[in-house]
Amino acid sequence: MKTANATSRKRRSLGMLLTMVTVLCVAYPTTRRTRAQRGETNQAELVVRADQPQGKINRNIYGQFAEHLGRLIYGGIWVGEDSPIPNTRGIRNDVVAALKKLNVPVLRWPGGCFADEYHWRDGIGPRDKRPRRPNASWGGVDTNAFGTHEFMDLCETLGAEPYINGNLGSGSPQEMMEWIEYMTSDSDSSLARLRRENGRDKPWKVPYFAVGNESWGCGGEMRPEHYADEYRRYATFIKNYSGNHIQKLAVGSHDDYYAWTEVLMSQAAHHMQGLSLHYYTLPTGNWNKKGSATQFGENAWHATLARTLLMDEFIQKHSAIMDKYDPQKHVGLMVDEWGTWYDGDPGKDMGALYQQNSIRDAIVAGVNLNIFNKHSDRVQMANIAQMVNVLQSMILTDKEKMIVTPTYHVFEMYKVHQGASLIPIEMKAPEYRLGQSSVPALQASASRDAAGKIHISIVNLDPNRAAQVSTRITGATVKNITGRVLTAPAMTTTNTFDKPDAVRPARFTDFQLQGGQITLNLPSKSVVVLELLLD
């Protein structure tokens, strides 16, 4: 497949990096674990430094991404006004109702690779007159029924800020400039008039606009030096009309491609407000055989978590390069594509890049969101790939049916961190080992919201062992604790259209609060979010 080949080339280095780990894991069958090992409870210590609050966690870290790909837009969001599926102005009511509970802060559109082939004029005006174009990146024909007005309607309905990804690969600076004018100008210009004729009187606000996507790959196979020049040229024509203020985002790196960040920061940092980073978690690290979403054992579980934890290292190292050129951290690192990417399940082709989502994906989501919180001085946005029916999605649909995934529940539980102040933590936890490879058994994050409540999110990565976490909050007296826990009977448990609630959050009650000391008992393979009321 074209896409698989392209991505395998671009992500060449990561596969090699972890092949050794995989080999070692595979060489250590799960059955060798003794019964005693399986039954034990891990002991851990957590200190939450409530007296040392840090900067704000940008709520955009909890952002989403919706590309014209597979059944995301068409079928997943857009069904059209005449559909028997209940909708408002063509957008599915059930999907919108579910997404509203996540407080989606920002939504990236129309791609991805698709962004560099998208021409905005195709998607405005009467729908029956819009051209039908091949979707050259992902297959099929795009009717253009879902265009700028429909996307903005979706954002307004969700209360999400729009993040538009412009076309550098096959578009011109003029086309980009005119799209921005069409959307944001309140003047009497021809393009502003055209927007009004198409049904929108007042201009929209467009706070984020990206110049191309993956320009080192599907966006044009460019060298960083060439892209840096192209970026500067296109970015010059991103204008602010009628009080709109656009943050200009440049195409950043992927994985450990540090040379790209070095060039972009040294040559274009002063022209951008954000630089992207893409990193996908593949169980095997091999783009030609990624691993299954649903048929896997402990080796693949462990390898997936080891790989997803690399996000921390990638952010640290890209940030260190950014610090050299931008010590004041004016340029945000925007992780605008992240999540798991599996092989399609044979016999279950539900559209391009459709994949199921298990408790393993929930653990991946919790781990990554904790990492983004930790780096919230530099990470200003993150957009999981993708929102509906594609990759690590929040929602799966099948015609009129809809379910939410384990990943959805993590986003819903973690929304308490949005816009809160990061609180530093220290976690002393044993390693979760398999063969020669090990990852921390527990990983956490904490924040304090505007009302003064502390929220702690803790992930137990170990699929076999519960954990007892002795927790101390410094500089605060805890009056009351409530919490929720997400776990599942098996590593592979998913929500299905027949059993939509197999994985869903429950009240978390297994804790003691005694004289300032908190003891938490977490089940294996779980995500727990606590709310602490202080005296």
Residues that bind ligand AHR (CB under 6 A): 7, 67, 111-113, 213-214, 337, 385-386, 391
d(CA 337, CA 7): 13
CA nearest neighbour of 113 among 255, 183, 10: 10
Query: Where would I find the H helices in 64-128?
Result: 93-100
For 17, the token pair is 């990096």
**214 is annotated as an active-site residue:** yes
* Least gap, CB of 140 to ligand AHR (angstroms): 14
d(CA 418, CA 1): 38
d(CA 218, CA 301): 30
420 DSSP assignment: P
When the beta carbons of 337 and 412 are compared against ligand AHR, the nearer one is 337
**β-bridge mates for residue 532, sequence order:** 454, 481
When the beta carbons of 111 and 435 are compared against ligand AHR, the nearer one is 111
Across the beta sheet with 442-448, the strand order is 421-423, 442-448, 454-460, 526-534, 478-486, 506-507
- Compute φ and ψ for 273, nearest 5 degrees: -110, -10
Of 117, 150, 214, 412, which residue is the catalytic one? 214
Element (H, E) at 325: helix 310-325
* Least gap, CB of 83 to ligand AHR (angstroms): 26
* Least gap, CB of 113 to ligand AHR (angstroms): 4
**197 is annotated as an active-site residue:** no
* Least gap, CB of 501 to ligand AHR (angstroms): 28
Q: Which residue is nearest to ligand AHR (CB)?
A: 112
Element (H, E) at 372: helix 359-374
* Least gap, CB of 177 to ligand AHR (angstroms): 23
Q: To 10 degrees, what angle do helices 310-325 and 359-374 make?
A: 20
Residues assigned a catalytic role: 214, 337
